[in-house]
Structure 1
């Protein structure tokens, strides 16, 4: 828009020399109408394209759409791992990109220019993955559609289970899961032929999950759980039909497919898996990893740069350990503080689940009083605090679930309590700031209230999403929530985990580290027992690059805040800064930096 106005000003200046007196106003009015018409026409083209793009994404992967709060396709699982569907999706991306580049960006209002830039970034990023056969690695111990749907069976997750239609939708997904499993098996067989297979270690960890999904009889299946919890308010005819439908689907379709999957993994796939650790061992593996790094960090940072940032952050945080340790009664070497804390009974004071939930509720009430001083922009959607259901407690970790777009459920913080007596108190404040408010809830719930196009409302990127949540943990200092040494340690310990991730992820996938090296490094720096260091390491093996977004995103937001504070001095407003960061939803970090710099320039 600015460029058009500039050209218009030049044209008007020329008219002064030759236009009759009184004609200038008419010419300017005509020009203004032309600009508005161009703006409107280009905006309509952009918004139509953006809606098409998002609907294609949601139909391609409706389960992920549901996780983001869009349940329009709750009866579908998609078949994104099918080669023909994957090829068709990339063809769509190319068409969308061509159409996008035909739109005159400068004829758009600022808000639409941002949508243009985000859409351009997302399409470019998506197309960078086309050469790499991600579909040949359809499951691992962290991410598998059969497990995801099993976790929905209790009705507490992203799959709604409230109406007859909801129960039918979940049953529809179960009917589609058998064909998905057969496609996954076919893909993995192709992967064996092409040398594109998972590390053996992570698939050995995954195998018990898939074996547990096989049931002796339909009523014993986790997928039958909804049929056991049919609301009394449902008509009898619907209850009978649903129960019979679940029973028949599990017995005749789903359970046999799960048996095929478990047998295939154990007898065929795991023996063919690789003994190597990192993504670099795969065909085109290093190029593939670089695309993942760029996607997960939304930067051009290279693995070696990220590795060094991680090492610097580890050293900085260990310096804080040395300072805080003596205040907690610890006098050993700084690196040993986390292990010492984990052994102290005084930091595990709980006897019941209720005591833990009560702490989080009190903290939430405190935040409701403190956050208005830091935020002028806050979500209207409430935040619920819940215990992770027993059904999924053994495999889940503390997490946030977005509100449903239709308002049928609030945002929710889920805490996982397997044994209250082993629940650690020092990490509770920093965890809630991250997963609850002002972390994920302020960002994700707000996105649904800002009137953004669907691809921005339900989309996003890891670096901003997790970077904001990790930055939100640092605000505990502003709100005097880390007054106790153990609470400050809890914050530092979470920061240390995110710093260590930079080191081990790049170490394994770009520098040739083995799984065992990563495990030992995590034990040495985080004080983890071998079992936790192993599961964390295997997470990064399964999700290359995913762990990088947290710290890279957080450091960028902190850097931008420091830049603004320095440039604006007494004019700096923390609530306004937060509004600038959150006010347009998720942005790639480069676009966020441009936005903050523009705000600084305008504020001066």
Structure 2
């Protein structure tokens, strides 16, 4: 594994490199200013480590998803009120410690860490008044589903060694108590009027019913036992088989049955018929906190709604231009439906043909990207088909590499029916989920010598904003020369613009679920089922879908500013290095960093 520098050593390197030359006798005795700066840096470094360790122990599953797999045998009880209260108490203590550190005495790099930590702690504390734990699961996000997907051994939970098998089994043993806590939380939510919309729980129920097996051997959680690595001894196989069978039959299966029965018979009848988050107690303030968190801005829902409408109109203008080149002469809004009906854009017979297209695209990009990027991750990107086990609930996605080198970054392609797999969106999808999108950002973060809270943490607006911006680079790399590939890019961009409209519409403007479905059908050409699934995602994850477009627009705005200000001095590889070179930043900090670079470059 590549050795990385710590924040402290980077700060020290900066101090040594940037300081004026000193006389030999002075160098032997650090000045008071240097000593104070070093002390402040150590304080910050210690605080940053304490903060991330607390985060990783509180939610080890999320930490593992981000590449920190130190606690693969723990699930964390993030929905237990006493644990949540303890975490908020820690945040308050960390914020107090942070503000006791003299920021002005820190290096530029440490000041950035200070500012990010200040932002993250204040953002976390903003959610303290809102009882999110009363809504512990939905059709998009539930720990039992996450752990079921891990049973393949190809996701964020490794299943290679006996120790790995024991760690996953430990998590399964903890899942029963988690389920009982979730049921208790939902019962409390029913009393307080804080419940999920009925529509999304109707979508979730079949998933939970499917997890209940007639016997242990039929359970998805038993899958590791059916796929022992060849190196396992007979003694280990027997011991693990008996342990998995006992845990699933005696503990997990009964708990899953309790959950499915509770949702069907108790929770669903008590669910609300309203759509938006603002219908909940304190709902509008709650949604505003989510908007601020997911966009890292102070934009208000109405402003975001209007941005979305403007972007929809702009992209429809592009549809009008590209449609005739594809043989379409109808109204712009009808282009997506027309494309979906053309057999020539569904050319595949096998899933192997699909992954081969992505592999070829990856090879093409390896030749083109050096002209646009001077800073690139050393960690390789692997391309894989989503395992059959999790295809039904997954979408194309990227998983980060493990920091210990045990797995690369992976682009997962989800193919349920090759004959229905559309080709027009493949280029833009790979630019987003693969490289230079998520892989260039997330894998690179692990190689920059950042403190752990920055290496493994982040925010939605930068992460998804960068990936959406990365899609636009296809145009200057000549990857959208075929009109159908450019349409695929526009269509994905349209989805991100539509999200601004429907998310704020439902959660702040009183739109119903049916209004969102209809708007998506008219604007994106979605089938009723696709529009319903997308709408219900935004119902379950308020404001999450806002980060993509808001983040991308900010990066595009900063690039345009730099190009205008620097003229012939502008370097696109250098701009990308400035954006990516310190990992994930809140958008306001990114803007300050780019403006500082522009001023220095002049």
The TM-score normalised by the length of structure 2 is: 0.96
Partner of 2:203: 205
SS in structure 2 opposite 1:238?
helix
CA distance in 1, matches of 2:58, 2:393: 27
Q: What does the per-residue CA deviation read over 1:328-386, in whole Å, with 9 as the maximum and x for residues that have no partner?
A: 00010000000000000000001111111111001000000000000000000000000
Structure-2 residue corresponding to 1:434: 432
> Deviation digits for residues 130-161 of structure 1, max 9, x if unmatched?
00000000000000000000000001100011
**Of 208, 213, 216, the match for 1:215:** 213
Alignment pair present for 1:36 and 2:45: no
Deviation at 1:32, TM superposition (A): 6.2
1:385 aligns with one of 374, 383, 386: 383
2:47 to 46, 49, 61: 49
CA deviation vs aligned residue, 1:460-485 (integer Å, no higher than 9, x gap): 00000000000000000110000000
How far does residue 423 in structure 1 lie from its aligned partner after superposition? Answer: 0.5
2:572 corresponds to which residue?
A: 574
2:531 to 510, 533, 537: 533
Residue in 2 aligned with 1:554? 552
Matched ranges for 1:2-13 at <5 A: none
Corresponding residue SS for 2:323: helix
Q: How does 1:188-337 map to 2 (within 5 A)?
A: 188-337=186-335
Q: Provide the C-alpha distance between the structure 2 equivalents of 1:317 and 1:455, rounded to a whole number of angstroms.
A: 37
Alignment map for 1:141-180 (pairs within 5 Å): 141-180=139-178
RMSD of aligned Cα (Å): 1.2
Cα separation, 2, equivalents of 1:331 and 1:235? 66
Which residues of 2 match residues 560-599 of structure 1 at below 5 A? 560-599=558-597
Q: Distance in 2 between matches of 1:292 and 1:74?
A: 29
Which structure: larger Rg? 1
Structure 2 residue matching 1:586: 3-state secondary structure: coil
SS, match of residue 468 in structure 2: helix
By how many angstroms is 1:27 displaced?
A: 12
Aligned to 1:349, the other structure's residue is in SS state coil
**Deviation larger for 346-355 or 505-514:** 346-355
User: 1:426-505 residue pairs with structure 2 within 5 A?
Assistant: 426-505=424-503
In 1, distance between residues paired with 2:489 and 2:26? 59
Give a deviation string over 1:89-117, Cα, whole Å, max 9, x none: 00000000000000000111111110000
Q: Which residue, out of 180, 183, 189, partners 1:182?
A: 180
Q: CA deviation at 1:232?
A: 1.8
- Corresponding position of 2:9: none
Distance 2:27 2:583 in 1: 35
CA deviation after TM superposition for structure 1 residue 327, in Å = 0.5
Distance 1:335 1:566 in 2: 34
**Residue 514 of structure 2: aligned partner:** 516
SS of residue paired to 2:31: helix
Cα distance, 1:65 vs. partner? 0.3
- Alignment partner of 2:408 out of 407, 410, 417: 410
State the 1:33 CA deviation. 1.4
CA-to-aligned-CA distance 1:402-434 (integer Å, 9 cap, x gap): 001000111000000111111000000000000
Q: Counterparts of 1:26 and 1:62 in 2: how far apart (Å)? A: 49
**What is the CA-CA distance between 1:575 and the residue it aligns to?**
0.2
State how 1:111-130 maps to structure 2 within 5 Å. Answer: 111-130=109-128
Distance 2:153 2:269 in 1: 36
Q: Which piece of structure 1 moves more, 33-42 or 450-459?
A: 33-42
Deviations 1:40-96 (A, max 9, x none): 100000000000000000010000000001110110000010000000000000000
Deviation at 1:237, TM superposition (A): 1.3
For residue 238 of structure 1, report the CA deviation from its aligned partner.
1.1
Q: Which runs of 5 or more residues in structure 2 are unaligned? A: 1-21
| SS of 2:542 mapped into structure 1 | coil
Cα offset for 1:39?
Answer: 1.0
Q: What is the rounded CA distance, in whole Å, between the counterparts of 1:176 and 1:489 in structure 2?
A: 47
- Residue 82 of structure 2 corresponds to residue 101 of structure 1: no
Q: Which runs of 5+ in 1 are unaligned?
A: 1-23
Determine helix, strand or coil for the equivalent of 1:159: coil
Q: d(CA) in 2 for partners of 1:577 and 1:231?
A: 46
CA distance in 2, matches of 1:533, 1:550: 19
CA distance in 2 between partners of 1:547 and 1:72 (Å): 30
| Cross-structure match for 1:21 | none
**Aligned positions, number:** 581
CA distance in 2, matches of 1:548, 1:259: 36
Q: Tell me by how many angstroms 1:189 deviates.
A: 0.3
What secondary structure is seen at the aligned counterpart in 2 of 1:385?
A: strand
SS in 2 for 1:301: coil
